[in-house]
Structure 1
Amino acid sequence: MNAYISTDLNMVKELDPQRHELALKMEEFENHGGVVQKIPVGRGLFSPMTFNSETIAPSTMTMHAKKRDLSVKLRKSPKAVASEAEIAEKLRAYHEKGVVAAARELHISTRRANHIAAQYGIKFACRVSLAARQEDLALVPQIRALIIEGLTQDQMCARLHIGRTTLKRVAGQNGLKFRSQADHSKDLVLVERIKAIRDIGCTRAACARQLDINPKVLLRLIAEYEIDFPVRTPGAA
């Protein structure tokens, strides 16, 4: 530590009477039962600063005193308790559907639903339950139709009254892929051209070659837009 120390002996000696007087007062204070406490010095509680080229850490005692006592819990109001009890009774009906369905239909967050369920000993079935799978499978044709219609994900959620997480999960598990508005417009143009080429008697392979697209893209469009394009053998009547 680089501390400044006066080299002037006369200046040091001039303070001797004051130091002697202070020592006498401390001795008298301690003789009367007084206790001298040493208080750590810090420049800030959470932002220690450099003092005389030495970094002074925050006072440990002060930091411990600032910590919140986690053993003290705030008591809920009777109205809040009654509200949670009412929600708990409704949550019991969602054992098979799961917490996501419960939160969606009761207009509460899944975090709050889980919190109340834990307090009242309510357990939800996981998403692999039969009821949950049936609920997901019922959404598949609806999501597929909305993808073909060209709706955005937000529009699909609003139409189906589901969240974005549910929409992506069901789509991902069932091989449904979302497309942008630009891709949807391109698909519509291709669908019209596919129908026109079909009507002149071309095969699927010839259609893919004329449109310069991958045969898998052709098959996807035929399936998604339910195009009546039977498989023909070249040269068949």
Structure 2
Amino acid sequence: MISTELSMIQMLNPQRHKLALLQEAFLNKGGTIQVLEGPTFEPPPPRHEPPPSMKAAKPKREPPKQNWLDKMAQRDLEREERAAKRELEKSELMDRVRKLAETATYIQAELQTGLARRTLQRLAVEGGFKFQPAINNRRPQRASEAYDKKNAERIMAFKEIGLSRYQAMSRIGITHKTFSRLLLKFEIDYPIRGDVQVTS
């Protein structure tokens, strides 16, 4: 590579010699040669960028306050929900009592549900169903002495084990009127409350 460049330089020597003669002749005639400076590179001034601006946090939007119309509508909705809940509970109770009435008397239903007789009667009227009649209603109006004596023995046995009056009536399947008649007839002292002490 060096020998090739050197030969090219030597090839340009005649042209440089000719240019030097022309330059000398120009200067002899009074000409002047002005050497111009080449372009200079100045780096651009440093750029000062402003610091990034912080976005201001948006204030939290408060929920719109309910006016009196909204409050009234809310109360109406809550009232409707409560009414629907009561209707559902009443419907469930009605279905339960209707199913119970298929096999139970009023006394048995009272013991199993804890509902008063009037409530059961009202549900029966509204639902269009009837409870089973008490067992003694299927018998002749004047019960036989043997039947009364047998029930009296059962009442005394239930008293000894500590059953309440309602539980004893339910086990035997008699009404309160018949139960009271047997207590009076056989002089049985059956406590009203179910706190009878069990005796050995």
TM range (shorter): under 0.3
TM-score normalised according to structure 2 size: 0.26
TM-score normalised according to structure 1 size: 0.22
